[in-house]
Amino acid sequence: YDFLLAQSKHFGGIGLEHHESSENGVRPGYFKDWDKAIAARELLPHEYVHSWNGKFRRPAGLNTPDFQVPMQGRLLWLYEGQTEYWGWVLAARSGLTTPALARERLARTAASYALQAGRAWRNLQDTTQDNLMAPRRNNRDWRSWQRSGGDYYGEMLLVWLDADTLMREKSGGTKSLDDFARAFFGMRDGELGPLPYDFTDIVAALNAVVPHDW
């Protein structure tokens, strides 16, 4: 907690999910000039989504019985990557930002990854290991070549966008990632979990919505 508090004071913000709540802090002036800035608009919906994506439904490798068992974060591309996608979708749907600004933010994200040299040699799933090797280190040398743990947020946001549009195209507009979320996360109403999942569970749930070589 002291570490997180220090981070909050240094960077001026924090987003920390809990099982039935979240801790969200932003820089002073967040509500000032509302129409001129969109920074951190996705923070609240992102952490809200974590209540069911990450806390209720949790990757099996992160569902450890105690602090003596090392966590395995191989499925953070769903835990954080899809949550990042829902954060921006819900920000636009709720009016925290506009659809146009959300699309511009997506375009900027896509452009930045198109120019990232590290994608030529390091696959995206490997970046989930950064939490063990170099947690939250943004000041590393040759960052574009090394990649970072933030990539399973941002680049997976684009992958889940692609999955959503593919579902809509293949189903003639009758199915979308909303249906996946409803089936995968919206089960056992009233239970707190955690309810672990693995890779095969994700693929099976996607195929149940729209059959494809996921």
Q: What is the pLDDT of residues 123-163, one digit of tens each?
A: 988 888 877 766 555 556 777 888 877 888 999 999 999 99
- 177 vs 34, 82, 93, 136, 143, CA distance in Å? 30, 10, 15, 29, 32
State residue 64's pLDDT score: 85
Distance of CA 47 to the CA centre of its chain: 9
pLDDT tens digits, one per residue of 44-90: 899 989 988 988 899 988 888 888 888 888 899 999 999 999 999 99
Give the mean model confidence (pLDDT) for residues 91-100. 92
Distance of CA 214 to the CA centre of its chain: 19
What pLDDT score does 207 carry?
97
pLDDT above 70: residue 206 = yes
